[in-house]
């Protein structure tokens, strides 16, 4: 009796299952037929018009390739902007795990553009690396700034970055003894949290220090510079990734807090102008530098991406007329390979000089005009490993900044979504659910270790080259491989120019 009942129920279940399967099948046929009809008759996409339905696989694979390529297919030294070998170096430095390699280098030492360093025949016995000595920026400011660390955190705004990212950078920077640049989004409490030195950036929209019509509000700037942590003020003229263009902060990222800090309306797109309204030539630039230095007492300089250096020469000539104290205390030169939260690809890839041309050109112009000692040079542009930084010091930079190196230290996986508020690691998103992934206490340690280990390794290179501190590296200490696979010293590629004599009144 019982088994007859069970058989009955089994038949009913099988019949219902078969009916559902038939319905799903019928629905599938209808969906595929509709897709086929739509694809076949649409006029915008030739692949789908010729290969309805199956053509979609091309787009799925293209999309999935973005994610799988870095794990399965790309070789260690292939990807852009940073290949796996470079990223891994940063991750390991940040995690403070052993960064030694076995068996030999996978780096092709005959590839064009590869730099390497010239070791001294008799290295110093007592030590394995050398430490930097302090450099003073802004000797004519009321509060000159002396700073040893040659590797520091480049401008990234609160807004482009999340609050936990800024907090982790601030704490890590304090522990490593390096500065953090606020970027153009104003000064947030998160920047101050760790107690690190701060470079305050004034962007073209003057976020955080603006009047309602976008002019500089002296009182707001004074209030910001009243914080002891704020050591210097940087006027941003431009940025390597988007020369000649202001930035857009999309409405989704303009939260109440960000709007308050920046001095703009909540939840509306915020467009910064292509240049400062009040800086349209070198005279106005020097006037503004003098005004801010006098107002705040801090060293003042500017950040620019260079298309050439003739205008820097004109600026130096004008400085000589006004007197050497009128010079910018520093120039931050950003290579065209620099990163950003968002910029048009055409500008990112096709406008402005890359760092390996811009840095020597800037330095040589300053040397030629006799202002090299007066104007400190800070550079940025894909300098994320010890080699890159040692190369920049060898060319002559006083300091090297990095933005994306520190993003990698924070756990960035290079998913290239900084412009979409969907950053999977919580670094460049205002979505609090995604920010949860970034644990400040852990990531601040990584920021510290990254900076610390990188500077230590540059110190090892400098020691091996036989100099007593990293900034003594010069163009004779580094060689770069040419297109014939043979290396030439930097001093041959970029010969030092003659030093000009300053006029009596300077």
Ligand X SMILES: Cc1cc2nc3c(=O)[nH]c(=O)nc-3n(C[C@H](O)[C@H](O)[C@H](O)COP(=O)(O)O)c2cc1C
Under the binding rule (CB under 6 A), the answer on residue 385 touching ligand X is: no
Q: Locate the DSSP E strands across 264-308.
A: 270-271, 300-304
Restricting to residues 413-442, which ones interact with ligand X according to CB under 6 A?
Answer: 418, 428
Q: How far is Cα 202 from Cα 225, in angstroms, rounded to an integer?
A: 12
∠440-446-450 over CA atoms, to 5°?
145
Nearest distance in Å: CB 338, ligand X: 3
∠347-327-223 over CA atoms, to 5°?
80
Contact range with ligand X by CB under 6 A, out of 30-38, 210-218, 264-272, 397-405: 397-405
Nearer Cβ to ligand X, position 130 or 232?
232
Nearest distance in Å: CB 382, ligand X: 4
Nearer Cβ to ligand X, position 339 or 426?
339
**Contact status, residue 472 vs residue 462, Cβ threshold 8 Å:** yes
Nearest distance in Å: CB 456, ligand X: 19
Under the binding rule (CB under 6 A), the answer on residue 338 touching ligand X is: yes
Contacts of 283 (CB under 8 A, 6+ apart): 318
Nearest distance in Å: CB 427, ligand X: 8
Contact range with ligand X by CB under 6 A, out of 109-117, 217-225, 233-241, 346-354: 233-241
Contact range with ligand X by CB under 6 A, out of 265-273, 278-286, 367-375, 402-410: 402-410
**Contact status, residue 233 vs residue 139, Cβ threshold 8 Å:** no
Size of the site for ligand X (CB under 6 A): 26
Under the binding rule (CB under 6 A), the answer on residue 352 touching ligand X is: no
Nearer Cβ to ligand X, position 39 or 334?
334
**Contact pick of 296, 368, 380, 429 for ligand X (by CB under 6 A):** 380
Q: Is the dihedral of CA 257, 259, 260, 266 positive or negative?
A: negative
Under the binding rule (CB under 6 A), the answer on residue 164 touching ligand X is: no
Q: How far is Cα 119 from Cα 461, in angstroms, rounded to an integer?
A: 8
Report DSSP state, residue 330.
E
**Contact pick of 48, 87, 157, 490 for ligand X (by CB under 6 A):** 157
Q: Which residue has the tokens 């606020």?
A: 182
Restricting to residues 274-303, which ones interact with ligand X according to CB under 6 A?
Answer: 303
For β-strands 145-147 and 135-137, DSSP reports them as antiparallel
Give CB contacts under 8 A, 24+ apart, made by 61-68: 66/416, 67/415
Q: How far is Cα 295 from Cα 71, in angstroms, rounded to an integer?
A: 52
Contact range with ligand X by CB under 6 A, out of 101-109, 186-194, 225-233, 401-409: 401-409
Nearest distance in Å: CB 243, ligand X: 12
**Contact status, residue 421 vs residue 410, Cβ threshold 8 Å:** no
**Contact pick of 141, 155, 232, 258 for ligand X (by CB under 6 A):** 155
Nearer Cβ to ligand X, position 155 or 393?
155
For β-strands 376-380 and 330-334, DSSP reports them as parallel
Q: Of 239, 184, 227, 181, whose CA–CA distance to 208 is shortest?
A: 184
Under the binding rule (CB under 6 A), the answer on residue 326 touching ligand X is: no
Nearest distance in Å: CB 234, ligand X: 8
Nearer Cβ to ligand X, position 155 or 198?
155
Under the binding rule (CB under 6 A), the answer on residue 336 touching ligand X is: no
**Contact pick of 270, 296, 326, 402 for ligand X (by CB under 6 A):** 402
Nearer Cβ to ligand X, position 154 or 368?
154
Under the binding rule (CB under 6 A), the answer on residue 246 touching ligand X is: no
Q: Locate the DSSP E strands across 381-495.
A: 399-402, 478-481, 487-489
Q: How far is Cα 53 from Cα 47, in angstroms, rounded to an integer?
A: 10
Output the six-digit token pair for 279: 């800086």
**Contact pick of 39, 184, 197, 457 for ligand X (by CB under 6 A):** 184
Under the binding rule (CB under 6 A), the answer on residue 186 touching ligand X is: no
Contacts of 7 (CB under 8 A, 6+ apart): none
Nearer Cβ to ligand X, position 39 or 337?
337
Contacts of 273 (CB under 8 A, 6+ apart): 204, 205, 214, 246
Under the binding rule (CB under 6 A), the answer on residue 272 touching ligand X is: no
What is the side-by-side order of every strand in the sheet holding 115-117? Answer: 115-117, 478-481, 487-489
**Contact pick of 382, 446, 471, 479 for ligand X (by CB under 6 A):** 382
- Binding region for ligand X (CB under 6 A): 154-157, 160, 183-184, 201, 236, 239-240, 303, 334, 338-341, 380-382, 402-405, 418, 428
């Amino acid at each position: 009796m019982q088994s007859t009942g069970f058989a009955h129920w089994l038949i009913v279940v099988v019949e219902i299952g078969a009916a559902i399967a038939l319905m799903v099948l019928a629905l599938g046929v209808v969906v595929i037929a509709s897709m086929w009809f739509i694809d076949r008759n649409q006029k915008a996409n030739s692949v789908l018009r010729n290969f309805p339905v199956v053509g979609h696989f091309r787009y799925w694979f293209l999309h999935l390739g973005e994610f799988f390529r870095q794990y399965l297919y790309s070789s260690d030294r292939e990807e852009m902007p940073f290949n796996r070998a470079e990223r891994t170096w940063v991750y390991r430095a940040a995690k403070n795990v052993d960064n030694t390699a076995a068996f030999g280098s996978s780096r092709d030492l005959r590839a064009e553009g590869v730099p390497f360093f010239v070791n001294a025949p008799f290295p110093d016995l007592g030590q394995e690396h050398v430490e930097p000595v302090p450099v003073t920026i802004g000797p004519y400011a009321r509060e000159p700034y002396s700073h040893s660390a040659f590797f520091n955190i480049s401008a990234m705004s609160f807004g482009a970055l999340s609050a936990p990212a800024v907090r982790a950078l601030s704490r890590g920077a304090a522990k490593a003894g390096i500065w953090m640049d606020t970027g153009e989004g104003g000064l947030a409490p998160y920047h101050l949290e760790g107690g690190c030195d701060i470079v305050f950036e004034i962007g073209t929209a003057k976020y955080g220090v603006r009047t309602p019509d976008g002019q500089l509000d002296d009182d707001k700037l004074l209030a910001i510079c009243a914080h002891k942590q704020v050591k210097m003020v940087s006027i941003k003229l431009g940025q390597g990734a988007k020369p000649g263009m202001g930035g857009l902060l999309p409405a989704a990222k303009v939260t109440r807090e960000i709007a308050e800090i920046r001095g703009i309306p909540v939840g509306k797109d915020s467009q910064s102008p292509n240049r400062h309204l009040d800086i349209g030539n070198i005279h106005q630039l020097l006037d503004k530098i003098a005004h801010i230095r006098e107002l705040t007492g801090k060293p003042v300089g500017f950040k620019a991406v260079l298309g050439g250096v003739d205008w820097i020469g004109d600026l130096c000539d004008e400085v000589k007329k006004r007197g050497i104290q009128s010079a910018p205390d520093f120039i931050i030169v950003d290579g065209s390979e620099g990163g950003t939260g968002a910029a048009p690809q055409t500008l990112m890839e096709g406008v402005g000089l890359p760092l390996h041309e811009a840095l020597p050109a800037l330095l040589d112009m300053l040397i030629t005009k006799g202002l090299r000692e007066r104007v400190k040079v800070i550079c940025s542009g894909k300098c994320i490993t010890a080699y890159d930084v040692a190369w920049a010091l060898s060319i002559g930079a006083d300091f090297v900044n990095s933005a994306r190196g520190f993003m990698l230290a924070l756990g960035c996986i290079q998913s290239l979504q900084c412009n979409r508020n969907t950053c999977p690691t919580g670094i460049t998103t205002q979505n609090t659910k995604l920010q949860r992934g970034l644990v400040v206490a852990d990531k601040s340690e990584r920021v510290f270790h990254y900076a610390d280990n990188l500077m230590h390794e540059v110190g090892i290179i400098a020691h091996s080259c036989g100099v007593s501190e990293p900034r003594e590296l010069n163009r004779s200490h580094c060689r770069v491989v040419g297109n014939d696979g043979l290396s030439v010293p930097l001093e041959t590629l970029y010969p030092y120019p003659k030093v000009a004599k300053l006029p009596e009144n300077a």
